[in-house]
Amino acid sequence: MDVTLPDGAKLTVSEDATALTVAETIGPRLAKAAVAATVGGRLVDLSMPLHDGDEVSIVTLASEDGLEVLRHSSAHVLAEAATRVFPGTKVAIGPAIKDGFYYDFEFPEAVTEEALARFQTEMERSIKEAKPFVREEVSRERALELFEDEPYKAELIRDLPEGETISLYRHGDFVDLCRGPHLPDTGRIPSVRALSIAGAYWRGDSANTMLTRVYGTAFPSRKELDAHLERLEMARQRDHRKLGRELDLFSFHDEGPGFPFFHPKGMRVINALLEYWRAEHRAAGYEEIKTPIILDRALWEQSGHWDNYKDNMYFTRIDEADFAVKPMNCPGGILVYRSAQHSYREFPLRMAELGLVHRHELSGVLHGLFRVRTFTQDDAHIYCLPEQIEDEVVGVIDLVMRMYRTFGFEKVHLELSTRPEKSIGSAEMWEAAERSLAVALERTGLEYSLNPGDGAFYGPKIDFHIEDVMGRTWQCATCQLDFAMPERFDLEYVGVDNQRHRPVMIHRTVLGSIERFLGILIEHYGGAFPAWLAPLQAVVIPVADRHNDYAAEVVAALGVAGVRAEVDDRTESVGRKIRDNEMAKVPYMLVVGDREVEAAAVSLRSRAEGDLGHRERDDAVREVARGAGIPVPVLE
């Protein structure tokens, strides 16, 4: 029989050929590297029998599909290890995920991360034994019989649609309910590591049993695994929760779970961040507004949030009427627009808001500043004419990219998301909106990818994904066209024809959540903020107590120049003070002793450049002020 290869070529194979046969026919190197195959676009085991006319592509670990197969197979080996280390363990699910895999278990006893080494030993034993992964298809009755002592597997089986194929995979004595595919045998796992332990509700529902989730990862080589582990260690060292405590930026308390408390140093960073944000937005033609945190229920019913977002909102009653704490800024901003009549001559109208919002998040998903219950969104809403959409979107893209470059985010991936299955508006409206966003992206010359069907229900959008120094990506900025809100709220403007028309509404954020963005910055910089963002930009270190008065004068001069500075007048040695301030990641240190007092000078040190030597005081103040100054937005 003949099968078709990815390049369109025909390959003749025997009637009993499998995907592995195709790899062996093509060549021994490919057969050795093969881990799975795609047949007719479906990922399958190498042992899958083929049929005449099948389209076959061999999968290796060099591909994303190959990595998924490797990691899914590693999850099964982890499950085998867990049941060996803790007999009586009930297994749940174990999928491959980005950069690794996990498996959920109900252990017969409390399990801590000390068990990871035991899991690792058992996994390595299974890999050394090179146990084949064997697929078996069974009836529903047989599957339930096999898993009668596994309540989570039995539940999954009972939930499967009638008539659906039920497949199992065995390796050695371990059997698991699984669609597959898998590696040919456990010995094909080149490198694997059990990483961490966390809690997870069965099926993500807090009403269900809390299970123990064991995370792991696997890579095509030990070198790649070691590089990944180094990145994880860097991430651990840079964890914003850890650095937030060490640098005295913020804290969390049981009295307000999910609500961050910002300390004076944390507020200095936030205020510097917002000062820069405001400068950029003023330069880009935005006016800033502020809307209330609590608004009437009727507004949220009109916006659709009451019906579609109520579970994530907080509520209160005022004068016997229902009110909600806002989870989003849009409805309040719309009321500002609606408070006056508008003409086409005003457009584009750009209104920005640093709006404090509250969203109810389950306690299990709270994570430092990355997932909180209150945060500040740097929203803006642009009201414009249809013919202004492209220019406004280009302006948003330019603003986002310019601001990201200021923070050192040079790698930004843009994604255009198109009409989802559930949406409002006509096909013509969507086609025009998507075309406008695509044309705007083309005008910028930036590369982007399509994300079909992932737009908002009210319009298409552009999402921006930034990459930090550890190679992780974060979606922060977004630019969305909205045809629903102007209709829901009966927004109008008077056109050139003196008739009333609907404006186009553009939603956009740059930083997204200020709190989350701060967490990203802390980890991106490892706590060593650029001088303009640092909570303490300069410290003046007197050599002895007799130099304290002069040190205070230097601090005063720095303050006049706009530099956040303090005197370190502790009774410690100069060397100790320098080391401590280096650990605190202070950008500039100015040491003053007898020689400096006599010459009205300082000895200047920079975190970035080291010892800069002797400087006259006023020259040093100007140099530090330049280095610590807020970036000035320059529009081309």
Q: Which residues have a catalytic role annotated?
A: 330, 359, 377, 379, 381, 461, 507
Say which residue the tokens 């913020």 belong to: 250
| Residue 40 identity | G
588-592/538-542 β-pairing: parallel
CA–CA separation, 454 vs 53, rounded Å? 34
Chain-centroid distance of CA 441 in Å reads 23
Identity of residue 79: A
Question: d(Cα 596, Cα 97) in Å, to the nearest integer?
Answer: 59
CA 248 – CA 522 distance, rounded (Å): 12
Interatomic CA distance for residues 478 and 472, integer angstroms: 18
* Beta-strand runs (E) in 389-513: 412-417, 448-451, 461-467, 473-482, 493-494, 500-501, 504-513
Question: Shortest CA distance to 48 belongs to which of 7, 78, 3, 11?
Answer: 3
Among the listed residues 188, 273, 286, the one whose alpha carbon sits nearest the alpha carbon of residue 529: 273
The answer to whether 534 and 564 have CB atoms below 8 angstroms apart is yes
Q: Determine the straight-line distance between the first and last CA of the chain, rounded to whole angstroms.
A: 64
Q: Retrieve residue 65's tokens.
A: 């599909």
Length of the chain: 636
Q: Which tokens sit at 45?
A: 């085991």
DSSP for 453-477 reads T-SBTTB-EEEEEEE-TTS-EEEEE
How is the beta sheet containing 461-467 ordered, strand by strand? Answer: 287-288, 349-358, 374-384, 504-513, 473-482, 461-467, 412-417, 448-451
CA–CA separation, 589 and 578 (whole Å): 8
Give the span between the Cα atoms of 298 and 311, in whole angstroms.
17
